[in-house]
Amino acid sequence: MFKYAVKRLFTLIPVFLAVSMLTFVLGSMSSGDAARIRAERRYEHPTFEQIAEVRIEMGLDKPLVVQYGRWLGNALRGNLGTSFWTDRPVVVEIALLFPKTLELALLSLLLLLLISLPLGLASAVFRDTWIDRLTRAYCIMSASMPQFWLALLLLYILGARLGIVSVIGGSKTKYPLLPALTTAVCMGGIYVQLVRTNMEEILSKGYIRAARAKGLREPQVITKHALKNALLPVLSKLGMAFGGLLSGSSIMESIFSWNGLGKYALESIRTKNFPVVQGYVLFMAFLVVCINLLVDLICSAVDPRLKLR
């Protein structure tokens, strides 16, 4: 397992290089002059000479390849640049705001488990009953329902109509329950169907029929023999989902005014705060790849039959 982890870490180098190059090039091609934005922040009404001075100071007068090499070298040393608007290092901005995004992602993952596992198991065990039909109806509705639509609907009903939650200033709440619930409901249908399909396949195996023939009760058959094997593929998918929850929380954070890293990245795109956007993309790419590697290692530890190569 250790050799596999080291091998995977070495294979990540081309991935990070490609992500960093794409991030830098797209940031350079975007509309807006970074030197002018920085100069306006410093001088309010900068002259052409002041803008040129800032451009030289930022190294934007150099060829694009030289700029990329300089930026990549700084990034490898942990320096992702300085925010145009706060004049603080991007690493500090990420460290301050990432815990909020992590909290939202963890709560979303917990609610996703609480929704998908019981419904998937119930649908497989009570196949072709009213429970199964209701569960499949939820799966169809969940797969076809955009997250932003449900988020706005919940804000309208629970906030504007019932006054249960605050429509403005949602970041003042202690826990991001509503955005996490919205995300879990919209993603839950896929994982309910995955649990149901895996459980149905396991329940048709010969060793399950043998366990029933020995006189074991149905709850014992499900919990001791079927559940572990059925949940292993789900564990792998949930690990990937966690990476998606971390990197794709921008819309939920923006709608519910949750001051996390995703909301800050959206604001940075709007205000053309290029160092923050580039740092955010590079950090999330690193995080998602590491999470996928960790999921592979956990799955191999849970099931030794999975050989890592």
Instruction: Indicate the range of 109-113, 231-235, 303-307 predicted with least confidence.
Output: 303-307
**pLDDT at residue 141 greater than cutoff 60:** yes
Topology at the third CATH level for domain 92-302 = MetI-like fold (1.10.3720)
Asked whether residue 135 carries a pLDDT value surpassing 70, the answer given is yes
What's the confidence (pLDDT) of residue 62? 78
Does the pLDDT value for residue 207 go beyond 60?
Answer: yes
Residue 278 scores a pLDDT above 70: yes
pLDDT of residue 31: 62
What's the pLDDT score for residue 134?
92
Contact 110, 99 (CB under 8 A): no
Domain residue limits, the chain = 92-302
More confident residue, 185 or 167: 185
Cβ-count burial 252-280 (b if 16+ within 10 Å, e if not):
bbbbbbbbbbbbbbbebeeebbbbbbbbb
Please tell me the distance from the alpha carbon of residue 42 to that of residue 48, in angstroms, as a whole number: 13
Mean pLDDT of 67-84: 83
Q: What is the mean pLDDT of residues 37-45?
A: 74
Residue 111's pLDDT is what? 92
Q: How far apart are CA 239 and CA 294, in angstroms?
A: 8
Q: Across residues 13-27, what is the average pLDDT?
A: 81
Q: Which residue has the higher pLDDT, 73 or 164?
A: 73
Q: In angstroms, rounded to a whole number, what is the distance separating the alpha carbons of residues 281 and 69?
A: 17
103 is written with which tokens? 């909290």
Lowest mean pLDDT among 59-68, 115-124, 162-171: 162-171
